[in-house]
Structure 1
Amino acid sequence: MAPPRPYDRPLTRAGLPTEVRAMLDDSPLQEPPQQGRTSRVAFALDASGGPIVLKCSAGEHLEVIRREHQALRTVHPLGVPAPQPLLFLERPTSLGREGWLVTQRLPGTTLETALSTELDRARRTSLLTDFGAALARLHATTPPPDFGSYNWLEHTLEVTNTLNPAVDPARIERLRNKRPSPVAPALIHGDLFLDNVMTVGGRVIGLIDWAFADIGDPRYDVAVATHDLTPADRAAFAEGYGPGARLTAQEAAYFVEIALLF
């Protein structure tokens, strides 16, 4: 049996790096009921009582947390609705090298939760229109010239193969060969499931989990963001985003298939 990875176990104050412990007040760590795919996550308060998020990754997922740190350092100063990175470090352990990322914790509830409880059609439409507008602003943001992959799609398929070796290589090759006609690349979030979108008071106020941010195909974000929505909800999203939100069925299916490979 393989030894447990550092982030397979609950995070405890005693197990935190010294630099992370020094940032915290005396309140206990709180772990969300649903953990991330590539890291262990806990919520805490910093020494001044501000809400923060702790993440730990190791092994094959160490590169993912490195990428999230790099992405947040890049996009947060651009005014993009992303949490502020506060600390990143790596350290060796008896179980291998691990990485720690501390960020600001955005307030509110996820868009997934907000939509599951919002039955009023007008408020639901307003929320989804706001989401579409927020994503359009992200895609219109000019990133620094040194950010992003040379070839987003190829890089994404390579990362998929690394994080999920069980994926059939023939399926990866099929996705390479059936890619849609290219569009102008944009700054993308890269993991825009609705539980990565934060809302407060019926407004979208931020996006979390930026490890897969890149310069890539904006249709990927749109497809992932809307694939679980009803036709009426998609129309509300498109009202905020603009004509680029109206994907063909083939485009939507292609990009969602890639997203669900991880």
Structure 2
Amino acid sequence: MNVTDIPIYLLDQIGSIHKISLPQQGHTSLVIKIETREHQFIIKKTEHELYNEWLLEEYNALQSISSAGIPVPKVHAFHEQGKSRWLLMDYIEGISLRHFLAGKPDPKDRERVIAEYGLSLKQIHDTKCPANLHRQSDISWLDSMFTQAGHNLKNYEVAGTEELLVRLRDTPLQPIENTFIHGDYHTNNVLIKHNKVVGIIDWPRAAFGDPRFDIALAIRPKQGVFDQTGDKDIFLEAYDRLTITEEEYLFFQEGLYQFF
């Protein structure tokens, strides 16, 4: 990635660039770190129809919650150029929670940070959902997710199957009160510095929805991450809003999430 590859519209807002680098990459976008003498930015670039939609939705969500007190990056611009979409925002210094936990920190630090992780999700769920993300319609959040899952299954490569989607539709969970949700809250999307949550990133699926969806993604085990006895209990004790059953966990994490 060179300076000449970046749209002039964004360069005008960035100013004189001192350094360009490629940090750890996600699966849906090219992530570029830009440093000037005074500031650090992140640019996310997408070139896929679905991921372009997600990037625009993330831009809208970040704009909507910029004053909510949640630690999110400040957005500066969204730009369309041909089949590409570009999002310019502030860089937040920190490492992902997954990276932190995989580094085998001191047990007390581990517990403290997992509790912070739970408290941060509680803050999100206690935040009033912005009006533009609180879609008023006769269709529930879950039904809208089923519709989107079917669309993604038909048009894109997803892990879910037609049989799984039918089973989920036929055996829905008992509904609970919706809240503002992140929609992709997991250990890669939470940034840690000095044992504190300093950033929560990747917001394209923010909505007024079922908070159990966030919880299920938050506690899914991976190697070195939420694989120790007590990790989930520490998280849920700090979250202190509601709990989640094994049936609910499987419905969201092993079920609905497979289409996104």
- If the length of structure 1 is used for normalisation, what is the TM-score? 0.86
Structure 1, residues 155-209: CA drift from partner, whole Å, max 9, x if none?
3334344445344223222222222111111111111120100011011122001
User: Structure 1 residue aligned with 2:239, among 241, 248, 254?
Assistant: 241
Residues 24 and 45, structure 1, Cα contact 8 Å, conserved in 2: no
Alignment partner, residue 148 of structure 1:
134
Q: Which amino acid aligns with 1:115?
A: L
Q: Where does residue 168 of structure 1 map in the other structure? A: 161
- 2:22 aligns with 31
The residue aligned with 2:86 is 100
For residues 122-178 of structure 1, give each alpha carbon's deviation from its aligned partner in whole angstroms, at most 9, with x where no partner exists: 211111111111110110001233323443223333434444534422322222222
Letter in 1 for 2:16: D
| Segment of structure 1 superposing worse, 234-243 or 160-169 | 160-169
CA change 1:160–1:40 in 2 (3 A) is farther
2:204 alignment partner, SS class: coil
After the TM superposition, list the runs of 4 or more consecutive aligned residues in structure 1 that deviate by more than 6 angstroms.
none
User: Hey, what's the Cα distance between the residues in 2 that align with 1:118 and 1:169?
Assistant: 39
Partner of 1:256: 253
* 8 Å contact from structure 2 (residues 57, 205) kept in 1: yes
The 3-state SS of whatever aligns with 1:136 is helix
Match of 1:89 among 43, 63, 79: 79
Q: In angstroms, what is the RMSD of aligned CA positions?
A: 1.9
Q: Which residue of 2 aligns with 1:195?
A: 188
**Secondary structure of 2:132's aligned partner:** coil
Shift of the 98–227 alpha-carbon distance from structure 1 to 2, 3 Å rule, reads: same
Q: Residue 41 of structure 2 is aligned with which of 49, 52, 70? A: 52
The superposition leaves residues 2-24 of structure 1 with CA deviations (integer Å, 9 ceiling, x where unpaired) of xxxxxxxxx33211110112214
Superposed displacement of residue 261, structure 1: 3.2
Report the 3-state secondary structure (helix = DSSP H, G, I; strand = E; otherwise coil) of the residue aligned with 1:79: coil
1:113 to 81, 96, 99: 99
d(CA) in 2 for partners of 1:214, 1:69: 13
Moved more, 115-124 or 205-214: 115-124
- Whether contact under 8 Å (1:142, 1:187) holds in the other structure is yes
**What displacement does 1:260 show?**
3.5
Distance in 1 separating the partners of 2:2 and 2:147:
34
Q: TM-score, normalised by structure 2?
A: 0.87
51 and 73 in structure 1: CA distance in 2 versus 1, 3 angstrom threshold: same
Gap regions ≥5 residues in structure 2: none
Does the 8 Å contact 2:73/2:90 carry over to 1?
A: yes
Q: C-alpha deviations, 1:209-261, integer Å up to 9, x for none?
A: 111111111111111011111341111111210151x3111111111022243
Q: What is residue 71 of structure 1 aligned with on the other side?
A: 61
Question: Partners of 2:152 and 2:2 in 1: how far apart?
Answer: 26
- Aligned-partner Cα distance in 1 for 2:215–2:171: 19
**For residue 196 of structure 1, what is the amino acid of its counterpart?**
N
Q: What secondary structure does 1:193 align onto?
A: coil
Identity of aligned residues (%): 26
Residue correspondences, number: 245
In structure 1, stretches of 5+ residues that fail to align are 1-10
Structure 1 stretch displaced more, 209-218 or 54-63: 54-63
Classify 1:161/1:104 alpha carbon distance in 2 versus 1 (closer, same or farther; 3 Å).
farther
Change (3 A) 1:36 1:169: same
